[in-house]
Structure 1
Amino acid sequence: MMSGEWVRIWRRFAAMLVKEFKQLGRDRVLLAFILYAFTLDVFLAASGVSLSLSSAVTWVQDFDHSAASRELVGRFQAPYFKVARDFDADRDGQAALDSGTAMILLSLPQGFGRDLAQGRGAELAMQVDTTNSVLGFLAVSHGEQIAARFGIESELARRGASARDEAALPGVDNAMRVWFNPNQNDSWFMGISEMLNIATVFSVLLPAAALVREKERGTVEQLMVSPLSPFGILFPKVVAMTCVIVAGIAVTLFLVLIPLFSIPVKGSLLLFFAASMLYVFTTAGLGLFAATVSQNLAQAGMLSILILSPMLFLSGAWTPAEAMPDWLRWLMYASPLHYYLDIAFGILLKGQGAADLALPLTEMGGIGVLVLALGLSLFRRQFA
């Protein structure tokens, strides 16, 4: 191809790129929504959503009123539990569970302390509202640990053993090491996950909206009779929206996550933004596919939701692959967000490099090539 032809291709591309930026700049409502999503929405997700048990409201029914029962109740302390009040009637406790006033009902029967002192098994009841299964599971786990530890210490005390004697007993030394998020800060996981989810949503919606807008206004037919090829029409839209989304990711990182939540960046930012650009190209093909088979913006929006929902839920952010059925796990590997999550967390929190992430980068890029080729092929057929 002659150099003059390259110049003409470049000029057409630059003109189309400028056109896309101008069209996006005129849509102030969309720009405001993009700014909100990459700032306030991520901030709210990182600061307001927690996967840890905190201040679980606990009601106590103590029929024994012994030193042992009071000591056990006293171990249900902050930050996990919050003992709010005592109750006597079972119906009051059940009403509190039903209404959500209490999450945990702790009942100690009469004779609890006496049975412990005599070496007999002492029983207690712990009723937990597991409407939120994650928090309910954590409440049960912490409650079991507290009760088990209290039982061991009570039996040792009954036998006259001291803390030094307990330390001398044989046991398993469980040395735990917490990596990559040593303080187990939920805001790190929630903030990064929400940033990636927002990038996914706009990677599909923005190219779809840009193409459908051309179809609604009738300008796509004018473009098709111009010297531009179908690739020359679609590629500038993808590039323009990629620039906007990557800029939004940069705003989230440097104005929200790093300064407000102290999220570390242990890897290369250049690699992270390069992977983000590759991911936007990958998912933009899905938006072009939605726009190609849609006649108006409402149809494109509904189809985009149909595409986004399985992508988000099969990404592995909320449910790990090991917890999924085998058939669903295979579908998860078709979600580009699954690979982008591994890449983003690997770079930002683990400090992994390109060599460590070669496999997910290759797999994500392969999906992107297939999806973009499919979208371009459908666009050509529609206006052939």
Structure 2
Amino acid sequence: MNIRHRLENIYRLGIKELFSLRQDMVLIALIIWAFSFAIYTAATGLSHDLHNASIAIVDQDRSQLSMRIQDGFQEPYFKKPVRIDYSQIDRVMDGGDYTFVLVIPAGFEADVIAGHQPEIQLNIDATAMMQAGIGESYITSIFSQEIRTWMGGKTQAAAQNAPSPVNLVLRYAFNPNAESAWFTSVMEIINNVTMLSIILAGAALIREREHGTIEHLLVMPLAPFEIMMAKVWANGLIILAASGLSLIFVVELLLQVPIAGSETLFLFGTMLYLFFATALGIFLATLAQSMPQFGLLFMLVVLPMRLLSGGYTPTESQPQLMQWIMEFVPSTHYVTIAQSILYRNAGLEIVWPEFAMVAGIGGLFFAFAAFRFRKSIAVMRN
């Protein structure tokens, strides 16, 4: 069979896959949700910033400085501070009324002027772990700023006795305002590319098996590679188009996230990665006998990939053995490609090693998945 005839078979089988998917409204709804509403809700609802944190203050000093510090807690980072008595601390913390309860002791202003560095008690509801960690640094910064400003109006002798906070100038690269939506939205696209490409390719094979149409293909003069390649290009094309549209209309237009680099280069990297992800879906489908089994295998494989690929936790923070293992997983390099191009405006001259790793490892796994698919087809034919 010549190459042209093989390509025609792959093309026609791919068109059949697209028509089959058109009949599956559940999968279509999943694709639309994953690349639109899911990205928007993750970027706006799951915030890594401090926003409207509840705080109560026990002001036992009632001095000018303590009042100034209270005024420093402003929206949108904190809700308006509520004054409570010291005896109320345990009750409001147990009831979850406030995330932070600050106690300013009596004689606080006098101790600051005398240079005694008084201790401040900050009670934190650590069940809200994300706000707790970020809020602690915010409150520390507010104290330093307000004390520095307030001491600037005192006498020179008093200012010399007061603690002098370090004037730390911060510069956030690639995200000047440290907005979590900039990070979360793009990472959701990356995660959904992996998730949907595995699901679509695997579900396509299982759907053929459950509906009995795979037997029709087996009696036709078709090679297993042609059947598998058709599923790869058809389902990969859908994911590639959905990710490109999501990047433009949801991330850039709706969420107003500026994309620094080339979207075309990112989509090219996505196309290379899809060969691995769709092949992984087909491989899992050859192991599973039904959709429930496929779903269990999907969770066992995809969840570790999401957590360990560097999208949420930097790979250098992971154990050395885990770092070595993840170097051979294309999703790790795909995350690096996406972050380098979309955030840092990296060109091909910078990310070509990651492209090579995705193409090389993905190609090897694609060949392995094709071998496994060929064996499963041979068993069905016999």
Q: TM-score, normalised by structure 2?
A: 0.90
Q: Distance in 2 between matches of 1:228 and 1:24?
A: 21
SS of match in other structure, 2:80: strand
How far off its partner does 1:297 sit? Answer: 1.3
Cα distance change, pair 272–117 in 1 and its aligned pair in 2 (3 A): closer
Match of 1:106 in 2: 102
- The 5 A counterparts of 1:162-201 are 176-201=170-195
Match of 2:75 in 1: 78
SS of match in other structure, 1:105: strand
Cα distance change, pair 185–146 in 1 and its aligned pair in 2 (3 A): closer
Cα distance change, pair 95–337 in 1 and its aligned pair in 2 (3 A): farther
SS of match in other structure, 1:60: strand
Q: 1:26 aligns with which of 18, 23, 28?
A: 23
Match of 2:136 in 1: 140
- Deviations 1:55-78 (CA, angstroms, capped at 9, x unpaired): 211111112222232222222333
- Deviations 1:336-382 (CA, angstroms, capped at 9, x unpaired): 22211221122222221111101111111122112212211112222
How far off its partner does 1:174 sit? Answer: 5.4
Q: Distance in 2 between matches of 1:63 and 1:266?
A: 50
- Deviations 1:204-223 (CA, angstroms, capped at 9, x unpaired): 11000001111222332332
Amino acid at match of 2:73: F
SS of match in other structure, 1:227: coil
Gaps of 5+ in 1: none
Alpha-carbon RMSD across the aligned residues, in angstroms, is 2.5
Q: TM-score, normalised by structure 1?
A: 0.90
**Aligned 8 A contact 1:314 1:331 in 2:** no
How far off its partner does 1:268 sit? Answer: 2.5
**Aligned 8 A contact 2:144 2:165 in 1:** no
**Aligned 8 A contact 1:242 1:280 in 2:** yes
- Confirm or deny that 1:361 pairs with 2:355: yes
Gaps of 5+ in 2: none
Match of 2:223 in 1: 229
Q: Which sits farther off after the overlay, 328-337 or 276-285?
A: 328-337
Match of 1:250 in 2: 244
Match of 2:63 in 1: 66
**Aligned 8 A contact 1:116 1:154 in 2:** no
- Deviations 1:6-54 (CA, angstroms, capped at 9, x unpaired): 3322221222111101100111222122112111111112222221112
- Deviations 1:230-265 (CA, angstroms, capped at 9, x unpaired): 111111001000110011112202221111223333
- Deviations 1:140-178 (CA, angstroms, capped at 9, x unpaired): 112223334445556665553699x99xxx998755443
- Aligned-residue identity in percent: 33
Match of 1:209 in 2: 203
**Aligned 8 A contact 2:65 2:147 in 1:** no
Amino acid at match of 1:379: F
Match of 1:302 in 2: 296
Q: Which sits farther off after the overlay, 32-41 or 330-339?
A: 330-339
Cα distance change, pair 330–171 in 1 and its aligned pair in 2 (3 A): same
Cα distance change, pair 98–337 in 1 and its aligned pair in 2 (3 A): farther
**Aligned 8 A contact 1:60 1:83 in 2:** no
Q: 1:338 aligns with which of 329, 332, 341?
A: 332
Match of 1:17 in 2: 14
4+ long deviations beyond 6 Å: 170-173
Match of 2:124 in 1: 128
Q: 1:38 aligns with which of 26, 35, 39?
A: 35
SS of match in other structure, 2:57: strand
- Deviations 1:310-337 (CA, angstroms, capped at 9, x unpaired): 1100121211123222222223323322
